[in-house]
């Protein structure tokens, strides 16, 4: 029998019919039952899209200021925006930067905005079957040709962090790595060294007369709709031709990505599982093939020996602080030195809190604080 808690309420249900316990549990059938929760609030009512909480009469610590709290469950950013504009939301956080920033500007008289760095990395994934982009010198030149500080300012209103590798300076395990500051002169030199010379129409060509051009595919949403034309313009100044391709069906989960996406693809992805997540994106053993039953997630065919070795080292590093820190640093260095993708920035989490409230935002990370700390300002 599993350790059912609270046992004085749940054990009898399990003993009566263990095979249907999860349908019959009080958490499902009567979630308002006192004793199911040990925090300052308990569920009092559940409606479609909304949870209602009231004070827990058995809570032994300080009584919360508010007698009840309501939690809205939304499916889309548009639904959240509608609730906020209707005055039904006092505190919320969002990763949808354009919506959050718009609400912060337009409803600034009511809400105070807080900005915190997120772990969502905006980067350009690269098809390593593309002979142009497979050349490290070309990838380095393309990154050096981008004024990423300027892009963060123009697209994110200066509310993001330029990415140098897979971890931001605000994430545990961050290590200083090779940087690619905006340097179009050096970018041009690298392209010259790679055999791409300026020719007719201010476009670069190789010795066979083939133009330096590739496709950039992206979704028709923020930030890519605003960012892609700026990338095209920056690379055009280097003599690089970019074919912009809007794709509303863009997915990072297709096994045939290298056939479908011939050049670069813009993605915003999270390292929710820690830096080990990058193994699934970039380790050569994760390239979908018959050998792994087409299950690999390295759908762009990245195969870089130094990065494989570093990621293998992280897998074997264990949990001891020093070996793990060294392994994390090695992965970040291999990424920055070899550029399996082009890192752009780490995004921002926006939290808006009603100015009438005090204690609604955690001062350590600018995220919503537990509701028992909320109170009106006096």
Q: What is the pLDDT of residues 138-176, one digit of tens each?
A: 999 999 999 999 999 999 999 999 999 999 998 888 999
In the predicted structure, residue 204 carries a pLDDT above the cut 70: yes
**pLDDT number for residue 74:** 94
Radius of gyration (C-alpha) of the chain in whole angstroms: 25
Q: pLDDT (tens digit, 9 = 90+) per residue, 19-61?
A: 999 999 999 999 999 999 999 999 999 999 999 999 999 999 9
Q: Are the CB atoms for 67 and 92 separated by under 8 Å? A: no
**pLDDT number for residue 255:** 64
Q: pLDDT (tens digit, 9 = 90+) per residue, 241-252?
A: 999 999 988 876
Q: Are the CB atoms for 220 and 246 separated by under 8 Å? A: yes
**CA pair distance 62, 260, nearest whole angstrom:** 58
Burial 117-145 (b: 16+ CB within 10 A, else e): bbbbbbbbbbbbebebbebebbbbbbbbb
**pLDDT number for residue 249:** 85
**pLDDT number for residue 292:** 79
Instruction: Give the chain's mean pLDDT.
Output: 92
In the predicted structure, residue 1 carries a pLDDT above the cut 60: no
Q: What's the burial of 73, exposed, middle or buried (CB within 10 Å: 0-12/13-18/19+)?
A: exposed
**CA pair distance 24, 29, nearest whole angstrom:** 6
Query: What is the DSSP track for 326-342?
Result: HHHHHHHHHHHHH-SEE
Q: Domain 118-348 class?
A: alpha beta
CA dihedral sign, ordered 286, 290, 293, 294: positive
7-116+353-376 CATH, one of 3.50.50.60, 3.40.190.10, 3.30.1360.40, 3.30.160.60: 3.40.190.10
Alpha-carbon distances of 65 from 62, 222, 357, 373, 377, rounded to whole Å: 9, 39, 11, 8, 11
**pLDDT number for residue 271:** 79
Q: pLDDT (tens digit, 9 = 90+) per residue, 250-300?
A: 876 666 677 788 999 999 988 777 788 889 899 999 998 888 787 778 989
Using the 8-state DSSP alphabet, how is residue 125 labeled? Answer: E
**CA pair distance 74, 89, nearest whole angstrom:** 12
Angle subtended at Cα 64 by Cα 58 and Cα 69, rounded to the nearest 5 degrees: 100
**CA pair distance 265, 98, nearest whole angstrom:** 21
Tokens linked to 376: 């009106």
Q: Are the CB atoms for 6 and 14 separated by under 8 Å? A: no
Annotated domain spans of the chain:
7-116+353-376, 118-348
pLDDT band at 2; cut points 50, 70, 90? low
Strand-pair category, 50-55 with 68-72: antiparallel
Q: Are the CB atoms for 64 and 376 separated by under 8 Å? A: no
């Amino acid at each position: 029998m599993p350790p059912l808690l609270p046992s004085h309420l749940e054990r009898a249900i399990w003993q009566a019919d263990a095979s249907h316990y999860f349908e019959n549990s009080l958490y499902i059938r009567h979630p308002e039952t006192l004793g199911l929760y040990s925090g300052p609030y308990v569920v009092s009512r559940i409606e479609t899209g909304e949870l209602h909480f009231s004070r827990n009469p058995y809570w032994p610590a300080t009584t919360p200021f508010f007698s009840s709290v309501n939690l809205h469950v939304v499916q889309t950013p548009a639904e959240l925006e509608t609730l906020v504009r209707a005055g039904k939301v006092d505190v919320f956080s969002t990763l949808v930067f354009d919506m959050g920033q718009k609400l912060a500007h337009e409803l600034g008289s009511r809400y105070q905005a807080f900005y915190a760095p997120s772990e969502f990395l905006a980067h350009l994934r690269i098809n390593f079957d593309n002979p142009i982009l497979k050349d490290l010198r070309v990838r380095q030149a393309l990154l050096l040709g981008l004024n990423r500080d300027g892009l963060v300012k123009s697209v994110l209103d200066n509310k993001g962090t330029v990415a140098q590798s897979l971890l931001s300076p605000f994430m545990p395990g961050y290590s200083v790595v090779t940087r690619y500051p905006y340097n179009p002169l050096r970018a041009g030199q690298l392209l010259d060294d790679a055999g791409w010379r300026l020719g007719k129409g201010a476009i670069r060509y190789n010795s066979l007369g083939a133009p330096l051009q590739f496709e950039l595919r992206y979704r028709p949403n923020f930030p890519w709709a605003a960012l892609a034309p700026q990338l095209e313009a920056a690379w055009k100044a280097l003599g690089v031709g970019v074919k912009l391709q809007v794709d509303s069906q863009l997915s990072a989960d297709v096994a045939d990505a290298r056939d479908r996406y011939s050049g670069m693809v813009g993605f915003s992805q999270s390292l929710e599982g820690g830096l080990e997540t990058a193994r699934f994106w970039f380790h050569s053993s994760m390239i979908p093939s018959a050998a792994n039953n087409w299950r690999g997630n390295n759908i762009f065919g990245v195969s870089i020996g130094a990065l494989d070795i570093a990621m293998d080292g992280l897998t074997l590093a264990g949990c001891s602080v020093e070996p793990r820190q060294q392994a994390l640093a090695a992965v970040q260095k291999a990424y920055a030195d070899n550029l399996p993708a082009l890192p752009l920035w780490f995004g921002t989490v926006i939290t808006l809190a009603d100015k009438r409230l005090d204690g609604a935002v955690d001062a350590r990370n600018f995220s919503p604080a537990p509701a028992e700390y909320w109170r009106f300002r006096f």
